[in-house]
């Protein structure tokens, strides 16, 4: 063993220049001589431990996946896998090198199990940089928030005496380089709003139809939910709305006020609005859409949430596009789904409804997001759900199954994706039902994390579960059995709903609660810029 250590040390001395070795030694002395509180030492030790085998990054990928950023999660993980393989299987064998002497590291900082593999480069740093850079290629803002965490993982390797400075710098450079090359091989996707009618015509689903036009906002009642979209940075849409639709009535919700109550009050007036609008996230949009359907009015959707799944699919992905559509009287007729619990009034669903892991995630996130913010709350929720969740027993159209997740998408989606958080079609008249049957918890998380292309590859390699069932229908009936005394609720458009009479009836008897989900063809008219030339409806101006 002594001879091997001497051989590795000599190999390091031959490859790395003298000034690099001197910089390494100086950096190690500077870090080791700093006196830090034991809690600080414990933090860096736990961070580096959480990053072992990429656990930290896989957890964050799960957060990104269940919050609709599956492409960013997939690119981050693909970059991580390549960078980790290059660092640990190739670079360490070529460059090698001895690690810092434990005798020079303060006792309180030393890792319980010091690594024995060659030192250069740092695999932890390579994985951290690869994941953060991969995510940044698809989602620059999210990548920017991950960059300090990636640098923190790199520093944790210095603080705990696991690596030299050159190891960390080399790992970070390797990881970032892998992600950069990956962007050249597989070009990043683009979620930005499209400009130009000819370009939009190739992308927008649905059939154009004329709707009542309002060039100045007359007759428009617009509900604004300020609590939506607080986890992202965006320009305040209200000045744009006031400038371009000066005669629109804009109602900003008070704390605790529901969008539905505000709309119902406006519709009860002697002179009700002729166009309903909403600025908020998918949950707010669904609530106002429900009232628009009941009143037979068209809906103006101004994206103002964190994800805006429905607005992007419909073709109103920006404030300007939405306003342009209502000014010109352009729109589309879309299908929705109706989610019914017994004799209760149905709930309008625009994107998807689900039961299992995802509703668990939403419920935990909502308990913490007011205190922690949506992104940190999502990370906490993902960690707890992936650690504690159990499969749920359901009966779908009379057939019993034990599943991790049941997703019901409004409209057909691409094959190979488990979680249809954003619909791809507007008017095909079907529900897209996907069941992830019970298996390993890790397999369930991975199935939620990967996009269509990555999932197909990993399933072919038997690295992901094969038991995902897919079928389409116009209506399904689902009975959900109570789980550990409490039933898992149905999530719909980012919200969670549980049948009110459940605790007193079905839960106490262990029989579960019955839910029906039915497609409602062409139930809603939504404003969006036309793909071609249409004639707006102006008779009511």
Dihedral in degrees, nearest 10, Cα atoms 373, 379, 380, 384? 150
Query: What span, in angstroms and rounded, lies between the C-alpha atoms of 388 and 404?
Result: 12
Per DSSP, the residues of 238-277 read HHHHHHH-TTSEEEEPPTT--HHHHHHHHHTSSS--SEEE
Place of tokens 């599943």: 403
Length of the chain counted residue by residue = 541
With 0-12 / 13-18 / 19 or more C-beta atoms within 10 angstroms meaning exposed / middle / buried, residue 225 is buried
What is the structure's pLDDT at 375? 60
pLDDT of residue 45: 83
Sign of CA dihedral 454, 459, 463, 466: positive
Confidence class of residue 301 from pLDDT cuts 50, 70 and 90? very high
DSSP-derived 3-state class of residue 377: helix
37's CB contacts (< 8 A; 6+ apart) are none
What pLDDT does 458 receive?
44
Q: Across residues 398-421, what is the average pLDDT?
A: 77
Whether the pTM exceeds 0.85: the reply is no
pLDDT of residue 203: 54
Q: Which helix (H) or strand (E) holds 21?
A: helix 18-33
Per-residue pLDDT, 413: 75
Q: b/e string for 391-428 if b means 16 or more Cβ within 10 A? A: bbbbebeeeeeebbbbbbbbbbbeeebbbbbbbebbeb
pLDDT per residue over 189-208, tens digit each? 644 333 344 334 445 678 88
pLDDT at 141: 84
Q: Which candidate, 474, 410, 431, 424, places its Cα nearest to that of 452? A: 424
Express each pLDDT in 258-289 by its tens digit.
999 999 999 999 999 999 999 988 889 999 99
Share of the chain above pLDDT 90, in %: 24
Mean pLDDT for 133-150 is: 88
Name the residue with tokens 């939504």. 526
Q: Is the pLDDT of residue 454 over 80?
A: no
């Amino acid at each position: 063993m002594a001879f091997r250590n001497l051989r590795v040390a000599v190999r390091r001395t031959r490859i790395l220049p003298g000034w690099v070795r001197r910089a390494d030694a100086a950096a190690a002395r500077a870090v080791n001589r700093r006196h830090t509180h034991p809690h600080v030492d414990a933090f860096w030790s736990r961070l580096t431990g959480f990053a072992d085998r990429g656990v930290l990054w896989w957890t964050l990928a799960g957060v990104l996946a269940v919050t609709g950023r599956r492409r960013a999660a997939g690119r981050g993980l693909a970059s991580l896998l390549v960078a980790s393989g290059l660092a640990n299987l190739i670079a360490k064998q070529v460059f090698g090198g001895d690690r810092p002497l434990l005798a020079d590291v303060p006792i309180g900082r030393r890792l319980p199990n010091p690594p024995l593999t060659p030192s250069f480069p740092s695999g932890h740093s390579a994985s951290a940089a690869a994941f953060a850079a991969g995510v940044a290629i698809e989602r620059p803002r999210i990548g920017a928030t991950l960059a300090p965490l990636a640098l923190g993982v790199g520093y944790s390797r210095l603080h705990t005496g696991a690596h030299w400075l050159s190891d960390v710098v080399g790992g970070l450079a390797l990881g970032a380089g892998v992600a950069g090359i990956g962007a050249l091989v597989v070009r990043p996707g683009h979620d930005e709003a499209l400009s130009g009618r000819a370009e939009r015509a190739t992308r927008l689903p649905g059939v154009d139809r004329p709707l009542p036009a309002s060039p100045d906002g007359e007759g428009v009642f617009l509900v604004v939910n300020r609590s939506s979209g607080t986890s992202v940075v965006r320009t305040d849409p209200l000045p744009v709305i006031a400038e371009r639709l000066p005669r629109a009535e804009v109602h900003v919700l008070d704390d605790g006020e529901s969008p539905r109550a505000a709309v119902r009050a406006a519709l009860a007036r002697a002179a009700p609005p002729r166009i309903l609008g909403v600025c908020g996230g998918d949950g707010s949009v669904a609530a106002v859409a429900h009232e628009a359907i009941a009143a037979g009015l068209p809906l103006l959707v101004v994206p103002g949430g964190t994800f805006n799944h429905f607005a992007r699919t419909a073709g109103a992905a920006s404030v300007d596009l939405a306003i342009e559509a209502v000014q010109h009287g352009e729109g589309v007729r879309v299908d929705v789904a109706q989610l019914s619990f017994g004799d209760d009034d149905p709930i309008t669903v625009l994107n998807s409804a689900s039961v299992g892991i995802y509703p668990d995630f939403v419920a935990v996130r909502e308990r913490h997001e007011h205190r922690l913010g949506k992104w940190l709350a999502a990370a906490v929720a993902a960690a707890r759900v992936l650690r504690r969740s159990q499969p749920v027993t359901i009966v779908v159209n009379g057939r019993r199954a034990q599943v991790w997740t049941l997703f019901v998408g409004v409209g057909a989606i691409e094959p190979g994706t488990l979680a249809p958080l954003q619909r791809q079609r507007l008017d095909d008249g079907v529900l897209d039902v996907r069941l992830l049957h019970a298996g390993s918890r890790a397999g369930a998380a991975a199935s939620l994390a990967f996009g269509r292309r990555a999932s197909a590859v990993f399933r072919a390699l038997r690295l992901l579960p094969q038991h995902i069932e897919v079928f389409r229908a116009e209506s399904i009936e689902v009975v959900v059995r109570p789980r550990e005394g409490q039933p898992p609720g149905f999530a719909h458009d980012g919200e969670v709903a549980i049948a009110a009479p459940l605790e007193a009836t079905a839960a106490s008897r262990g029989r579960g609660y019955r839910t029906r989900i039915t497609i409602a063809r062409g139930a809603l008219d939504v404003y969006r810029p036309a793909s071609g030339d249409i004639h707006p409806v102006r008779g009511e101006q």
